[in-house]
Amino acid sequence: MLIALTPEQEAWLKTHVVVGDVASIEEAARRVIDERIAEERRRAAGNWREVMLVGELSDADLAEIVATKMDPRHDHLNAELI
């Protein structure tokens, strides 16, 4: 996969390689992406019970949970999760 970075993004990644945080720009990019995915999953989970399940759910399952939590027709279900 080939992606185009802004000069600022490339400089940020190169800095982390130079100071020894990571071995390569690719590794730095993977870490940033992995951290963002984890952040979005934590945000989607919403509470500790869902966090416990996140590792066992597919992305489609997580998307369904988020959609349900955002749908006011399911407020009675959301109240049970609190």
Q: Please indicate, yes or no, whether residues 31 and 50 belong to a single structural domain of this protein.
A: no
Predicted confidence at residue 82, as pLDDT, reads: 47
Please indicate, yes or no, whether residues 38 and 52 belong to a single structural domain of this protein. no
pLDDT in tens, 13-65: 999 999 999 999 999 989 999 998 888 877 776 655 555 555 666 777 777 77
Contacts of 74 (CB under 8 A, 6+ apart): 68
pTM of the model: 0.50
Distances (CA, A) of 20 to 25, 30, 35: 11, 15, 19
Q: Quote the domain boundaries for residue 17.
A: 7-45
pLDDT at 75: 62
pLDDT value, residue 39: 84
> 59 and 76: one domain?
yes
Task: Judge if 37 and 61 occupy the same domain.
Answer: no
- The reply to whether 35 and 24 lie within a common domain is yes
Same domain, 39 and 59: no
Closest CA to 64 of 50, 47, 76: 50
Contacts of residue 24, defined as CB under 8 A and 6 or more positions apart, other chains included, come to: 17
